[in-house]
Amino acid sequence: MARWEPGARERLQLAALDLFVEQGFESTTVAEIAGRADLTERTFYRHFADKREVLFDGQDVLLHAFVDAVAAAPDDASPRELAEAAVAGSVAFFTDERRPWSRRRQQAIDTEDGLRERESLKMGALASAVAQALRDRGVADPSAELAADAAISVFRVSFGQWIAPGETRGIDEIQTALFAAQRALA
At 148, which CATH number?
1.10.357.10
**Picking from 3-17, 69-83, 110-124, 153-167, which range would have the lowest pLDDT averaged per residue?**
3-17
Long-range contacts, stretch 49-55, CB < 8 angstroms, 24+ apart: 51/16, 51/25, 52/25, 52/114, 52/115, 52/118, 54/12, 54/13, 54/16, 54/17, 55/16, 55/17, 55/20, 55/105, 55/108, 55/109, 55/115, 55/118
SS (H, E, C) 86-144: HHHCCHHHCCHHHHHHHHHHHHHHHCCHHHHHHHHHHHHHHHHHHHHHHHHCCCCCCHH
For 113-140, the pLDDT digits (tens) are 999 999 999 999 999 999 999 999 999 9
In this structure, are 24 and 68 located in the same domain?
no
The 3-state DSSP class for residue 14 equals helix
Give the Cα separation of 130 and 125 in Å (integer): 9
Any idea what the Cα angle at residue 25 is, between residues 19 and 27, rounded to 5°?
A: 85
User: How many CB atoms sit inside 10 A of residue 81's CB?
Assistant: 14
pLDDT at 107: 94
Residue 145: domain span: 58-185
Residues 64 and 45 in one domain: no
Question: For residue 108, is it within any domain?
Answer: yes
Where residue 5 falls among pLDDT bands split at 50, 70, 90?
A: low
Flag whether 2 is in a domain. no
Q: Are residues 170 and 117 in the same domain?
A: yes
pLDDT greater than 70 at residue 4: no
Residues 99, 172 share a domain:
yes
For residues 22 and 76, membership in a common domain is answered with no
Same domain flag for 95 and 73: yes
Rounded to a whole number of angstroms, the CA Rg of the chain reads 18
In a domain, 1, yes or no: no
Contact 65/130 with Cβ under 8 angstroms? no
